[in-house]
Amino acid sequence: MGKNSQRFIEKIWKSAPTIEGAGVHLKRAFGFHELPLLDPFLLLDDFRSENPAEYKAGFPWHPHRGIETITYVLDGDVEHGDSMGHKGDISSGDVQWMTAGSGIIHQEMPKGNKKGQMFGFQLWANLPAKSKMMDPRYRSIKKKEIPLITTQEGVKVRLISGEVEGTQGPVQDIITGPEYFDVEIPQGKSFTHMVKEGHNVFAYVIEGEAYFDSLRAPFAHEAAGKNYFDMTPSCPCGDGTLVLYKREGNHLTVTTDKRPVRFLLASGKPLNELIAWYGPIVMNTQAELREAFLEYREGTFVKG
């Protein structure tokens, strides 16, 4: 590829409704069935609701091993606690970056805001085989710690992890070198971002719509889950759309027309390793999975 090569869209699809935890209604942008397209990322859930009955049951005590879970709350509160002794609230604009490593048991209980509204995301990132049994670690990042960059075009970028215009996000020293941004583009503007060759990159539209590459051609990429005989597919990508980019290219450009857009943008280095995944445990082999569940039953899951 050339020195100034653009990333183009590989595939798009819509998030799908599902129920998780003790009865939490959410939309899954990607998960087990999309493996390994987004390696090192495993799952992205979009939980937004104005009905407390759809989220109050929450995610009671459950284990994790072999992954990192990144919870980003846009509105409302999530009460959390874990086997390392951490507890508190993830509030509007906050991030909880938890590296489960060798094993952690925790709970996440959405509480919503004063109006009963809840809005946030949880992203799972895989750990390489050499790090799956590392010591767990936990990072609580408050809204005020997350840099907000405003470009000359009026684009707002909240930097959770990664770098924009010389400013770095607060989450660093992560094995897969991920970037994780919350981007807002006004109508009629554009945002260009440099990405690393070979890293997987995806965008998830929170609201509004935009063109996620310069082709503006709905026939130039696969649209999963669409009607095969749809002869008038939409070109701009709207709310709830997952945009997966091709691995080739060192930059991407997102452009709006008559509407603004807000989206999550993430990238990471693929691990290219075997994945053995069941529920909240992600390892490399079925034997490691069996060992994890046996340890959980016997009470030896949490190390140290």
pLDDT above 70: percentage of residues in the chain: 93
Helix (H) or strand (E) holding 287: helix 286-298
Tokens for 160?
């959770």
Q: What pTM did the predictor assign?
A: 0.94
Predicted pLDDT of residue 101: 96
Predicted pLDDT of residue 220: 64
Per-residue pLDDT tens digits for 123-177 = 999 999 999 999 999 889 999 999 999 999 999 999 999 999 999 999 987 777 7
Higher pLDDT, 3 or 238: 238
Per-residue pLDDT tens digits for 56-79 = 999 999 999 999 999 999 999 999
Per-residue pLDDT band at 118 (split at 50, 70, 90) = very high
Give CA–CA dist 60/237, Å, rounded. Answer: 35
| CATH code for residues 9-298 | 2.60.120.10
Per-residue pLDDT band at 1 (split at 50, 70, 90) = very low
Which residues, 6+ apart, have CB-to-CB distance to 192 below 8 Å? 251, 252, 253, 254
What is the SS3 string spanning 139-184? EEECHHHCCEEECCCCCEEEEEECEECCEECCCCCCCCCCEEEEEE
| Structure letter (DSSP) for residue 275 | -
Helix (H) or strand (E) holding 79: strand 77-82
Q: Are 276 and 289 in contact (CB under 8 A)?
A: yes
Per-residue pLDDT band at 240 (split at 50, 70, 90) = very high
Please give the single-letter amino acid code of residue 205: V
Tokens for 230?
């749809």
Q: What is the mean pLDDT of the chain?
A: 93
Give CA–CA dist 198/214, Å, rounded. Answer: 20
Per-residue pLDDT tens digits for 175-194 = 777 999 999 999 999 999 99
